[in-house]
A and B are shown apart, each in its own frame.
Chain A
């Protein structure tokens, strides 16, 4: 049964606060607001909690329908439950694997990335840091392989600071520029982090 939150005339962040309380009690919430700012804020909040959102505009008011999605968090305070069956996060913190010979290490990394699409389970996210960011930039031998992985909805996150350090930000060929907050969130929320 949907809970209705009447947040009309309330100033920010009350619409988000009240919606937050409502979603703890119900999987379906309708929040009513009377301005664009509140509509955007409640929508962002809902999506961040894994809810599906549709907005209905009715004579200057916005009725925001929230429905808890399949993978949503149960409450705002509990960490996402990890079952161990979830796909791992892959951390590529260098453009080479192992120590001894850089030339060998780079060949190993190239082979690893190329074989990834044939191995199970597939990662859900691949994080590129330090010299690992070279793999997602022009000149890398594995751009096409990474593009194929991206097409299967695998998230490719390249550390922005690292791209800046090597001065190759403009050469990003696949994946998206990320930051320590998103990278740390992906690692800490993962059931497994694999670093070849």
Chain B
């Protein structure tokens, strides 16, 4: 999309547009770099308060995924004021603010415009130590990959839109989408993490592809080890698949190989676009088990080791 536009460069721009990372990072001093990110979208659940919570958790996630600490946030609102009652907007903002407060981030303002289609999200600013930025692409052969949240929110949301989702599936998806990645981010700081990214719109496999950018590793994922939200597999088999999945699949086609003989749903679930997904963390295998134990002890029950970085098949994500 940015073809033909000259990408900016600056000696203090540590992470910019070219690296497909989760947020932008700009050095201020030797110890402090600014982390900046923005994210907003249309409603995915019916309840306005919950929508606000999900959108806020989603926007904050990018800062955690860079190894940063979010500090301030601003609301972004598009609202059809003539068609919808303001009480709905108030509930959305209340949901967003409660999540912002939970993260101990300060809301400093926002901007709203009138729009026939409702959208909400945040712009978030935080800080990170310039030497401790967690990029997407630093995984080393032999690293194991830990995933902190189950996937399948795109499928559950699509089934929900068609009134074909079970209450259990929706509750499970909402619980995951409203959970901040804050705790997971704090726990991983204790380890020598080589790469980290959060799983959002490109799906597990799309974001795994981002981890290939250094050209130094291949990635292998064990489909039986990937935690999946209850119901998602069934919805994939029933064709309740969001359009984004097909875009993700087409985009990743040259780099992703799914082993033959795997069930049909593997492609649909592993390319399922996520909202406010978990973190994929690449770290030495000796530490992966300790990190997993710490995550589970902290109540992050679905955290799992889903695969590894390898030295063969560099530049490919292979799913077994």
B238 touches A16 (CB 8 A): yes
- Residues of B near A179 (CB, < 8 A) are 223-224, 263
How many angstroms from the CA of A182 to the CA of B161 in the assembled complex? 25
Interface residues on A, range: 20 to 34
B243 touches A37 (CB 8 A): yes
Q: With an 8 A cutoff between CB atoms, is A169 at the interface?
A: yes
CB interface residues, A 43-85, toward B, < 8 Å: 43-46, 48-49
Known contacts A37-B246, A161-B224: A12-B238 contact under CB 8 Å: no
B262 within 8 A of partner (CB): yes
Residue of A nearest to B262 (CB): A177
| Contact partners of A20 in chain B: CB under 8 A | 162, 164
Q: Say whether B101 faces chain A, with CB atoms less than 8 Å apart.
A: no
B153-195 toward A: CB 8 Å interface, digit per residue (1/0)? Answer: 0000011011110000000000000000000000000000000
Please measure, in the bound complex, the distance between the C-alpha atom of A181 and the C-alpha atom of B266, giving whole angstroms: 12
Q: List the B side residues contacting A36 at CB < 8 Å.
A: 246
**Is the CB of A178 closer than 8 A to any CB of chain B?**
yes
Task: Flag whether A14 is at the interface (Cβ < 8 A).
Answer: yes
Residue with the highest number of chain B CB atoms closer than 10 Å, among A36, A160, A164:
A160
B273 to A: closest C-beta gap in Å: 12
Contact of A182 among B222, B242, B263 (CB under 8 A): B263
- From residue 1 to 44 of chain A, which have CB atoms closer than 8 A to chain B? 11-14, 16-17, 20, 36-37, 40-44
Q: A12-B243, A41-B241 are in contact. Are A17 and B164 (CB under 8 A)?
A: yes
Mostly, the A contact residues are helix
Q: How large is the interface on B (under 10, 10 to 19, 20 to 34, 35 or more residues)?
A: 20 to 34
Whether the Cβ atoms of A16 and B162 lie closer than 8 Å is: yes
| CA–CA, A48 and B239, complex, Å | 8
**Which residue from chain B places its CB closest to the CB of A37 in the assembled complex?**
B243
Which of B159, B225, B236, B263 touches A178 (beta carbons < 8 Å)? B263
Q: Would A41 and B225 count as touching, CB distance under 8 A?
A: no
Given the interface pairs A160-B224, A164-B224, the reply to whether A13 lies near B263 with Cβ below 8 Å is no
Give, as a whole number of angstroms, the nearest-CB distance from B164 to chain A.
7
Residue numbers in A under 8 Å from B163 (CB-CB): 17
The 8 Å CB contact of A13, one of B162, B234, B320, is B162
Question: B246 contacts which chain A residues (CB < 8 A)?
Answer: 36-37, 40
Query: What separation, in Å, do the CA atoms of A169 and B237 have in the docked complex?
Result: 25
Question: What residue in chain A is nearest B243 (Cβ atoms)?
Answer: A37
Chain A residue nearest to B230 (CB atoms) is A181
Cα of A176 to Cα of B163 in the assembled complex, Å: 33
Q: How far is the CA of A49 from the CA of B237 in the complex (A)?
A: 10
Residue of A nearest to B224 (CB): A160
Q: In the complex, A46 Cα to B233 Cα: how many Å? A: 16
Partner of B162, one of A17, A161, A177, A181: A17
| Assembly CA distance A16 to B158 (angstroms) | 10
Interface string of B223-266 (1 = CB under 8 A from A): 11100000001101111111100100000000000000111100
A11 CA to B243 CA in the complex, in Å? 9
Bound state CA distance, A93 and B234, in angstroms? Answer: 25
Interface residues of B in 259-278 (CB under 8 A from A): 261-264
B residues in contact with A41, CB < 8 Å: 239-241
Distance in angstroms between the alpha carbons of A11 and B162 in the assembled complex: 10
- Give A16 to B234 CA distance when docked, in angstroms: 14
| Smallest CB gap from B261: residue in A | A176
Query: Within 8 Å CB of B262, what residues of A?
Result: 176-177
Cβ–Cβ contact A164 & B239, under 8 A: no
Q: Which of A11, A40, A46, A179 has the most CB of B within 10 A?
A: A179
CB-defined contacts of B239 to chain A, threshold 8 Å: 13, 16, 40-46, 48
Give the residues in chain B near A48, CB-CB below 8 Å: 237-239
Residue of B nearest to A11 (CB): B243
Chain A residues with Cβ under 8 A from B164's Cβ?
13, 16-17, 20
8 residue pairs bridging A and B, Cβ less than 8 Å apart: A13-B164, A17-B164, A37-B246, A40-B241, A44-B236, A164-B225, A176-B262, A178-B263
Footprint of A on B, CB under 8 Å?
A: 158-159, 161-164, 222-225, 233-234, 236-243, 246, 261-264, 320
Question: Would you list the 7 A-B pairs with minimal beta carbon distance, nearest first?
Answer: A45-B239, A160-B224, A44-B239, A41-B239, A13-B162, A17-B162, A37-B243
16 additional A-B residue pairs with CB within 8 Å, beyond A48-B238, A164-B222 = A12-B158, A13-B241, A14-B162, A16-B238, A16-B240, A17-B164, A20-B164, A37-B246, A41-B240, A41-B241, A48-B239, A160-B222, A164-B224, A177-B320, A178-B263, A182-B263
